[in-house]
Amino acid sequence: MATCTTTPSSSLMITYAAASTVHSQALTPSVLSFKSNKPTFSINPLALKTSIDGKSGIKWANLYPQRDSKHHVMAAVAAEAEVAEATDENDGVAAEGGTATAIATAPPKPKKGKAALPLKRDRTRSKRFLEIQKLRETKKEYDLKTAISLLKEMSSTKFVETAEAHFRLNIDPKYNDQQLRATVNLPKGTGQKVKVAVLTQGEKFDEAKNAGADIVGGEDLIEQIKGGFMDFDKLIASPDMMVKVAGLGKILGPRGLMPNPKAGTVTPNIPQAIEEFKKGKVEYRADKTGIVHIPFGKVDFLEDDLLVNLLAAVKSIETNKPKGAKGVYWKSAHICTSMGPSIKLNIREMLDYKPPSNV
């Protein structure tokens, strides 16, 4: 127990047992003395220096020893009472004045890319989508015939949707020996009208026109493309024009229109390339997550036609398997319409499927 007594010099005397605890709220700015049976400890205001802790905002008193051998000064006494009083004063000013000044906080940085998309649980689907979603089971793996029949049944939009295939492969395209980029000729076509432009010169200029190219040009067409002309779906170039086409990389590259030998758009046989793309030649490549996206027709195709196109795409991906791919090559396979839910395919049945002789 501690007892408090006042002295004539208006100082506060606290006598305490050695094991007692003195709270900072009981301290007053004067000469404080702590007496026990042994030595006497005192705190002189002239020997105090205050410092502010940057993290907590609490003032601490740094004590320096006095020269008197009988007096020793305590260290690290927290002046929490001053902080409490300052808080009470601010609350009183806010109550009297009406409002207190709010601490300005920096607004959060806006999210970009995929982080800006709403979470899956927060996304809302249309009534049409929710209705057709009930036609298939989420985790069930379907065989090809059933999946294509279900695909046509799910189409309920006012326009003719595209049938799409999405294959997740066990590859990492950041390595050169695991990149996948090729073309596939769909036997039944894509159902779309492809507008082909050709960059060539000399005798091949007339060959391209006779083969059915929609746009044919040389340096004049290059200048038009630099000016923003993009009214074509495929751009085919002869090898002798690639030196001049190289300057269009920043314009054509992001749109996927840059001529490339792997895609079959840089070739000396221009008439054959035009014919293939007109009939339904499709270029595909694995994205950075190892997924291949291929359109294989329209939903108004016959089921057998969609089946033949899908099998051609599967066979092409299997044939062009990268050399660096190890382990299980096919991880998952789905088909869907442009505006519909996906249908999971049975991979083993898909790879072993043999179409009937009449297809």
For residue 261, which phi and psi values (nearest 5 degrees)? -60, -35
Query: What token pair was written down for 246?
Result: 């190289």
Give 32 or 245, the one with higher predicted confidence.
Answer: 245
Q: If you ran DSSP here, which 8-state letter would residue 142 be given?
A: B
Q: What is the mean pLDDT of the chain?
A: 76
- At residue 47, does pLDDT exceed 70? no
101: pLDDT strictly greater than 60 = no
Give CA–CA dist 13/16, Å, rounded.
10
pLDDT value for 355? 78
Residue position matching structure tokens 């003719």: 160
pLDDT tens digits along 221-274: 999 998 889 889 899 999 988 888 888 888 888 888 899 888 888 998 999 999
Q: Please report which confidence band the pLDDT of residue 308 belongs to, taking 50, 70 and 90 as the band edges.
A: very high
Q: Which domains does the chain have, with CATH numbers?
A: 133-189+282-352 (3.30.190.20), 196-279 (3.40.50.790)
pLDDT at residue 303 tops 70: yes
* pLDDT of 142 higher than 90: yes
Tens of pLDDT, residues 183-200:
999 999 888 888 999 999
Query: Given this model, what pLDDT does residue 156 score?
Result: 84
Residue 255's pLDDT is 86
Q: Is pLDDT above 60 for 90?
A: no
Phi/psi at 183 (5° precision): -130, 160
- Supply the pLDDT for residue 129: 85
Instruction: Tell me the torsion sign for CA atoms 275, 278, 280, 283.
Output: positive
Percentage of the chain lying above the pLDDT 90 cut: 33
What is the dihedral sign for C-alpha 152, 157, 162, 163? Answer: negative
Q: Which of 251, 248, 250, 280 is nearest to 264 (CA)?
A: 280
Give residue for tokens 């051609």.
Answer: 312
Q: Is the pLDDT of residue 21 over 70?
A: no
- Which pLDDT value is given to residue 186? 92
Secondary structure percentages of the chain, helix, strand, coil, to 5: 35, 25, 45
pLDDT at 121 over 70: no
- What confidence score (pLDDT) does residue 260 get? 87
Residue 313, pLDDT > 70, answer: yes
Phi-psi region of 132 (alpha: psi -120 to 50; beta: other; left: phi over 0): alpha
Task: State phi, psi for 13 to the nearest 5 degrees.
Answer: -105, 125
* 234-237 vs 181-185, strand pairing mode: unpaired
User: Pick the residue with more confidence: 154 or 106?
Assistant: 154
Question: What CA–CA distance (Å, rounded) separates 47 from 44?
Answer: 5
Q: Where are the beta strands (DSSP E) in the chain?
A: 3-6, 12-15, 32-35, 40-43, 48-52, 59-63, 71-72, 77-78, 162-169, 181-185, 196-199, 215-217, 234-237, 281-285, 291-298, 330-337, 343-344
